[in-house]
Amino acid sequence: MKKIEHIGIAVKDLETSNNLFAKLFGEAHYKVESVESEGVNTSFFQVGPNKIELLEATNPDSPIAKFLEKRGEGIHHIAYDVEDIRAEMKRLESEGFTLLNTEPKKGADNKLVCFLHPKTTNGVLVELCQEIA
């Protein structure tokens, strides 16, 4: 893994939180993107070299809706930048981690992504992401 790519935060209302985080960072988000397959609307903030992703559910079956119900608003996942997502998925699976998808899927912000089940990563949902060239 190369570095932390971004940190994902689950929020109830994206617009309210966009305003809140714009105040916190002193700068507005630079993009909003919906990922239909995941049932989420996302926004991204640049904080120096780092990125923060806010996630709002678009329907009650969305993983974000379930997360909010169970744990409330807060840190949802940590995403790591990887060079070759398929190779990393294979390596991590052989190390005993549980992958939530067997094939990389298209995520927000022009990435191929894969999630690791939090039960195998001390309760923290891990996202692998590889920039789509």
| Residues within the interface to Zn ion (CB under 5 A) | 8, 53, 79, 127
Q: Tell me the CA end-to-end span of the chain in Å, nearest whole number.
A: 18
Question: What single string gives the DSSP state of each residue in the chain?
Answer: --EEEEEEEE-S-HHHHHHHHHHHHTS--SEEEEEGGGTEEEEEEEETTEEEEEEEESSTTSHHHHHHHHH-SEEEEEEEE-S-HHHHHHHHHHTTPPBS-SS-EEETTTEEEEEE-GGGTTT-EEEEEEE--
Chain position whose Cβ is nearest to Zn ion? 8
Which is closer to Zn ion, CB of 55 or CB of 94?
55
Which is closer to Zn ion, CB of 79 or CB of 82?
79
Q: How far is the CB of 100 from Zn ion (least distance, A)?
A: 13
Q: How far is the CB of 130 from Zn ion (least distance, A)?
A: 13
Q: How far is the CB of 84 from Zn ion (least distance, A)?
A: 19
Q: How far is the CB of 30 from Zn ion (least distance, A)?
A: 15
Which is closer to Zn ion, CB of 53 or CB of 56?
53
Which is closer to Zn ion, CB of 9 or CB of 22?
9
